[in-house]
Structure 1
Amino acid sequence: MTGKLFVLFTGVLLLSLLAGCSPEQARKERFISALYNLDYADPRSAGINPKKLKEIDAIVKEAIRERATPGAVVVVLKDGKIIFDRAYGHHTYDKEVPTRPFDIYDVASVTKIFATTIAAMRLVDQGKLDLDATVGTYLSELNHSHPDKAAIIVRDLLTHRAGFIPFIPFFRGIGEGDYSTESSARYPVKVAERFYLGSDYYSEVMWKQIIDSPLRTPGKSIYSDIGMFVMKEVLERIVQQSLDAYVDEQFYRPLGACSVGFCPLDRFAEARIVPTEIDTYFRGQLLKGYVQDPGAAMAGGVSGHAGLFAAAYDLAILSQMLLNGGIYNGRHYIRPETVRQFSSRHSDDSRRGLGFDCWDPESKEGYPCRLASPETFGHTGYTGTCVWIDPEHRLIYIFLSNRLYPSQTVNKLAKLNIRSRIQDVVYEAIGTSSAESRNFSPPISSVSQ
């Protein structure tokens, strides 16, 4: 170690000890700060009760003890700085690999906001996407072949009001000639280990199923992954490149979100990726680095509704950019008014924003938690994840887990209300009361419907 580095190391170590921070914690904070360009704040100096934050430990340990998840990562930011970040448990119940704070998880439907939605926001800013245009404006071939789908308003895709059915079990239609155990020019689409689909399976089979599917509830808010398949096609037609390439180029790399993206095995060591589940219904194997959602997997791992993998710190950067009104480190990614437009509720009969999930005034228990302010927006993920951004309190809460492991039919994480309870502890730590958070009406977007 050189003299200058030794002095720097000694100084940081001394400061950490004076602040009550262990040398190990100081090393972790330096590593995260250098890798992700995220700053830390002592909760006490920010007026936050550190003893209250310790209650998070007990809640996560309860989840692990009750086998709601083998492990988890929790990251909280207040006023742009990390006030809490901790990894719990292990990758599996075998307890062989401890969870680390920078491990990469399948974030499931969080893909909707940090891939599809932010891409749409940028294109709206650039005047390339009109939320009030029809799908047929961008996918012109549907005007003749499927006029009902062509007539859908883009806005309705993002607010889940297009009328699509919630999902299609695409994998049930796979026949023997549709896949191979070996990669080849005919079977290049890798769905899992030794599982390859034909090159035209998505375009010839899956896309046909999507555009042939019925519109049963147009104008009514029904959560649907199918609308996000269509939204991805609209975006890719505009930018003339794949969704994964576009968001990596426009957001992930410039932001320094160095671990987020689709198909993580192409870029990272398998040891850093947390296993999601043992798939007994489709691929017959452990899923580690392959997206859990069957439809997204069959689409090559890149879809508008699922497929994104990330470490919690990547989601912190993306969340902070949105909380800053589309700005991060002095660079403008999205206009502030566009962030507000997309993250606000868009109708009286649904809590949904444009792509985002939002605070629910109708929830008796409180959604996403009791103490979240009506400005809160974000999303949850089927694999046991969530990201919530609260502009009122300048707060970001991230929870990542692999609650499906090994193969869970009951959502114990939801049953025990783990994510919401942790979030409420955070609010209590910053001194937020129930009356303060819920004493005014939730915002409704003023944009025409």
Structure 2
Amino acid sequence: MRLKCILFSFVLSLIVPFGLIAQQSKMDTLSYVSPHKVNIDSVKLYSGIDSIITEALDSGAFPGCQILLAKAGQVFYYESFGFHTYDSVQKVRNLDLYDLASITKITASTLALMKLYEEGQFDLHQTMGYYFPFLAKSNKDDLSIRKVLAHQSRMKNWIPYYSESQRRNGKYKRKTISADSSETFPYRIPGSDLFLHKNFREDKIFKMIKKSDLYNEEGYVYSGLAFYLFPDLIERLSGVPFEQYLANNFYKPLEANSLGFDPLKKYNLSQIVPSEIDTFFRMSKLHGVVHDEGAAVMLGISGNAGLFSNAGDLAKVYQMLLNGGTYNGNQYLKPETIKEFTRCQYCEKDNRRGLGFDKPLIEYDSIKSSVAKLASANSYGHSGYTGTLVWADPDNQLLFVFLANRVYPSRTNRKIYQLNIRPRIHDLVYGLLEEEKE
């Protein structure tokens, strides 16, 4: 590993001053440099990460992973480790795609709402009933959009749509899910041999959300329910389908080519890392299809989960945010929009969240935190159930992307949390940055 580090640093030191990569850095894009270019000890960085990941792989925390680290737009570390699965057949490569899980909430829904907000089409002071007429006169009519995005709205955390569609004997209720396709059941649920009723989204998902109870007291409860509704709102406000709106306004111009929904439209299975072997709903290996069951019954395109990407392309979105909304000379969002959505909304109520974005714990706890203790209060990002994490720190201009499939073969594997893999890597980098200051 040390030899690899030295060779990597040497090659980059020859290439970067003269090549295209150095030119790109002048245009606020990500460039690739050796760690010493950002004043980080290469040997300590590589050996430190190698030690943490070796422990993770040996412990079976996940089969493999991708890690990207950037400082002030300069990627000083981008490595892949391990294999797609525990059979050790296919190594993870930097261009391979992972299921981002709930990172979708901020990289799809929230990103689109930010743009609509600054265009004056989306008002944070409005209510759920205003934007979703079917919720009028329900218990969610007067819920504040700001509180909903900050997970302060009293909404339930989730609804198991697939199991709510089943009878006690395990058979599916009428007009929900069928084992046979037909005009009434035209949509195959991704990763299964099951078919969805043509009106399932409106008649079942939306109605289950409408009828769901609220918690009695207001307080921080992470809820994904509204994120099933936001794609419909974004399409109504913009006049463009949700997936297309994101591609047109962000992913394509950023050249984040792997970032998107339904990756099998563009990539073969060998380029996509599998997630879980589903033994309770779709009864198959989930490979190239969304892991989240709720997003699955949204046919893979949802505001709560469903995006796939490699670390390099995901990093482009968050470098754009760190740049104050610009990337490669293009303005995507205004700095004040980013600041508003990424600031802590209800800190005085012991809720750390921004609007859509996660934030550092108000009082640091090494067991509960997914990020480093030294991550600034202005930093933001999100984790994903599959084992993913993206975190951007504007105060330190530090970007951390970690992609893994810790749910393979089963979601019961929680060793990534028990071993604190992601925060330990994050801590290592901050420590090396602090060491250089001294």
Fold-level match, TM-score > 0.5?
A: yes
Structure 2 residue 427 is the aligned partner of structure 1 residue 424: yes
Partners of 1:220 and 1:65 lie apart in 2 by: 40
| Aligned pair partner of 1:188 in 183, 186, 189 | 186
Partners of 2:216 and 2:353 lie apart in 1 by: 16
Alpha carbons 1:138, 1:238 under 8 Å: kept: no
Gaps of 5+ in 2: 1-5, 167-171
Alpha carbons 1:157, 1:228 under 8 Å: kept: no
The match for 2:218 is 219
Amino acid at match of 2:116: L
| Aligned pair partner of 2:109 in 106, 116, 134 | 116
The match for 1:335 is 334
Amino acid at match of 1:239: S
Q: Structure 1's 217 and 257: CA in aligned 2 closer, same or farther, altered over 3 A?
A: farther
Partners of 1:207 and 1:224 lie apart in 2 by: 15
| Aligned pair partner of 2:66 in 73, 93, 115 | 73
| Aligned pair partner of 2:400 in 381, 397, 402 | 397
The match for 1:21 is 11
Is the partner of 1:357 in helix, strand or coil?
Answer: coil
Deviations 1:88-120 (A, max 9, x none): 000000001100011101110100110011111
Q: Structure 1's 421 and 211: CA in aligned 2 closer, same or farther, altered over 3 A?
A: same
Amino acid at match of 1:129: F
Deviations 1:279-330 (A, max 9, x none): 0111100001111110110011111111111111111100100000111111
Partners of 1:30 and 1:272 lie apart in 2 by: 26
Q: How far apart are residue 18 of structure 1 and its match?
A: 9.9
Alpha carbons 1:48, 1:431 under 8 Å: kept: no
Partners of 1:200 and 1:398 lie apart in 2 by: 37
Amino acid at match of 2:80: A
Q: How far apart are residue 46 of structure 1 and its match?
A: 2.0
Is the partner of 1:426 in helix, strand or coil?
Answer: helix
The match for 1:238 is 237
Structure 2 residue 107 is the aligned partner of structure 1 residue 106: no
The match for 1:3 is none
Show the 5 A alignment for 1:290-305.
290-305=289-304
Partners of 1:96 and 1:17 lie apart in 2 by: 27
Alpha carbons 2:61, 2:406 under 8 Å: kept: yes
Deviations 1:39-75 (A, max 9, x none): 2112112211112211111111111110010000000
Partners of 1:121 and 1:327 lie apart in 2 by: 14
Partners of 1:127 and 1:218 lie apart in 2 by: 32
The match for 2:169 is none
Farther off after superposition, 194-203 or 334-343:
194-203
Large movers: runs of 4+ above 6 Å: none
Identity of aligned residues (%): 38
RMSD across aligned positions (CA) = 2.6
Deviations 1:405-449 (A, max 9, x none): 011314110110000001111112222699x9xxxxxxxxxxxxx
Amino acid at match of 2:358: D
Deviations 1:367-423 (A, max 9, x none): 522221221100000000000000111110000000000113141101100000011
Partners of 1:321 and 1:218 lie apart in 2 by: 37
The match for 2:380 is 377
Partners of 2:97 and 2:219 lie apart in 1 by: 35
Amino acid at match of 2:184: R
Farther off after superposition, 241-250 or 78-87:
241-250
Deviations 1:10-41 (A, max 9, x none): xxxxxx97952399x99xx999x99xx74211
Alpha carbons 2:9, 2:36 under 8 Å: kept: no
Amino acid at match of 1:56: I
Partners of 2:434 and 2:241 lie apart in 1 by: 44
Partners of 1:230 and 1:327 lie apart in 2 by: 28
Show the 5 A alignment for 1:39-438.
39-54=31-46, 55-144=48-137, 146=138, 148-172=139-163, 173-174=165-166, 175=172, 178-181=176-179, 183-191=181-189, 192-217=191-216, 219-347=218-346, 348=348, 349-365=350-366, 368-431=371-434
Gaps of 5+ in 1: 1-15, 437-449
Partners of 1:224 and 1:18 lie apart in 2 by: 43
Q: Structure 1's 58 and 235: CA in aligned 2 closer, same or farther, altered over 3 A?
A: same
Amino acid at match of 1:82: V
Partners of 1:401 and 1:316 lie apart in 2 by: 15
Q: Structure 1's 243 and 201: CA in aligned 2 closer, same or farther, altered over 3 A?
A: same
Q: How far apart are residue 182 of structure 1 and its match?
A: 5.5
Q: How far apart are residue 237 of structure 1 and its match?
A: 2.6
Partners of 2:153 and 2:82 lie apart in 1 by: 41
Count of residues paired in the alignment: 412
Deviations 1:187-232 (A, max 9, x none): 2323224332121111111111111101114631100111322333
Alpha carbons 2:39, 2:436 under 8 Å: kept: no
Amino acid at match of 1:187: F
Q: How far apart are residue 183 of structure 1 and its match?
A: 4.8
Amino acid at match of 2:215: R
TM-score (norm 2): 0.88
Q: Structure 1's 306 and 155: CA in aligned 2 closer, same or farther, altered over 3 A?
A: same
Partners of 2:218 and 2:226 lie apart in 1 by: 13
TM-score (norm 1): 0.86
